[in-house]
Amino acid sequence: MDEQEEQRIRQWFRNWEAAAPMLERLRAEAIRNTDTAQAIEQLSDAFESARLHWTPPTASGLVEQQRFFARLRS
C-alpha cells in the first residue's frame, strides 16, 4: 500500500467517523417517527405469503460447520 492509498483510507475513515453521529440521529428520528401499527399492516401480506410458501431447510448447516471445524483441528 503506497502513501497516497493510505491517506485515502485515512480520509475515508475520518469521513465515516464524522458522519456516524449524523447518521445515528437520522436513524433514531426515523424510528421515533415510524407508525409501528401501520408498518405491521403494510407488511402483513408479505409475511403471510412468506409463511405460506416457506419450506424448511433439509439441513441446519450445523453438521457441515462441525465437519469444517474438525478439518481445521487436523
pLDDT value at residue 57: 85
pLDDT value at residue 54: 94
pLDDT in tens, the chain (74 residues): 789 999 999 999 999 999 999 999 999 999 999 999 999 999 999 999 999 999 988 888 898 899 999 999 87
pLDDT value at residue 59: 83
Cell of 1: 500500500
Region of residue 18 (phi > 0: left; psi between -120 and 50: alpha; otherwise: beta): alpha
Query: What does DSSP assign to residue 57?
Result: -
Break the chain into its structural domains and give their ranges: 3-73
Cell of 24: 445515528
pTM of the model: 0.49
